[in-house]
Amino acid sequence: MNSVSKNSVFMYFDYRDFLGAVLENIQKIDKKASLRSIQESIGVQGSGFFTRILAGDRPLSIENAKIIANAWGMDAAETEYFFDMVRFGNEKNVDKREVLLKKLIAARANNAEYALQDSAMQFFSKWYYPVLRDLLPLLPVNTPAEKIGRMFTPALRAPQVNSGINYLLKSGFVLANEDGTYSVTEPIVSTPPRVRSTILRKYHIKNLEINQEVYDEFTVDDRSMTSVTCSLSKESFEKVRAEIAALRDRILALAREDKNPDRVCHVGFQLVPRAKVQGGKK
């Protein structure tokens, strides 16, 4: 790739972040360069082209992406990744974004650093990974996979448990200690919002499906499910959202302070509109 960018295109999932980094590097090299002069040198059309794209006011088209890739000297692999990143950033359908995300991740697989980051991103790709992460420190390292699987609701098969443990160890979420115990680490899984929402959408949906499947397997002493239907203004809606976030933080604090845990729980909050008055109440 042309030396105007110190950042590999493969570092990014969001094309706006990539464009911003390249433009910043160009302006570091040429102190007199403005976004307008850079636009003119590349040959793309449009008033405030880069300003509007970076602000999210307009998408980058594939046609203009071709002009940029050629002007910045991207090779074939970089160009293909750049185009897929543009399609990923512009796609509104979550399922289609997931297909594009997998393609982006596959293109990064040859780089060890990116591959490790992408592996950590998969933490929410299986509903039982977060549960297994919290369960393992409560068990000896030599606990049979079949026994661990029977602790889950619904139960897991031994291969699922083994692959989950291998993933958690490899990605650094769990450590196997010399004293025969597991311990958890707290790595920061940092992904762009579009990537995070693509993965988390299916994670949340899967957990809702599981709650429905296993509802009758628990007695009232082993579960707590409640709901409320109410009318809210936009302002009150945001206040309820804040209350849920605060309660979530308090639950996490209780979990951290617990000295003798004996179960792993999934606590879910759902705040979604069931109906909206068009245009609001007069």
Cβ neighbours around 191 below 10 Å, total = 19
The residue extents of the domains of the chain are 9-90, 109-225, 228-282
d(C-alpha 173, C-alpha 7), whole Å: 28
- Name beta bridge partners: 232: none
Q: What is the pLDDT of residue 282?
A: 45
Q: What is the pLDDT of residue 1?
A: 46
Give the list of residues 6+ apart from residue 171 with CB closer than 8 angstroms, or none. 116, 119, 120, 122, 123, 187
d(C-alpha 6, C-alpha 152), whole Å: 47
Residue 100's alpha-carbon distances to 13, 15, 125, 127, 277, in angstroms, are 10, 13, 15, 21, 35
Question: What element of type H or E holds 182?
Answer: strand 182-184
The topology under which CATH files domain 109-225 is Arc Repressor Mutant, subunit A (1.10.10)
Q: What is the pLDDT of residue 266?
A: 87
d(C-alpha 78, C-alpha 75), whole Å: 5
Q: What is the pLDDT of residue 228?
A: 87
- One pLDDT digit (tens) per residue for the chain, 282 residues: 454 455 689 989 999 999 999 999 999 988 899 999 999 999 898 889 999 999 999 999 999 999 999 999 999 999 999 999 999 999 988 788 888 988 999 999 888 778 777 877 788 888 999 999 999 999 999 999 999 999 998 999 999 999 999 999 988 899 999 999 999 887 555 556 667 677 777 788 888 888 888 888 888 888 888 888 888 999 999 999 999 989 988 998 898 888 889 999 888 888 888 777 666 554
d(C-alpha 63, C-alpha 212), whole Å: 46
Q: What is the pLDDT of residue 210?
A: 87
Q: What is the pLDDT of residue 196?
A: 65
| Residue 156 CB burial class (10 angstroms; 0-12, 13-18, ≥19) | buried
Q: What is the pLDDT of residue 98?
A: 83
d(C-alpha 141, C-alpha 93), whole Å: 42
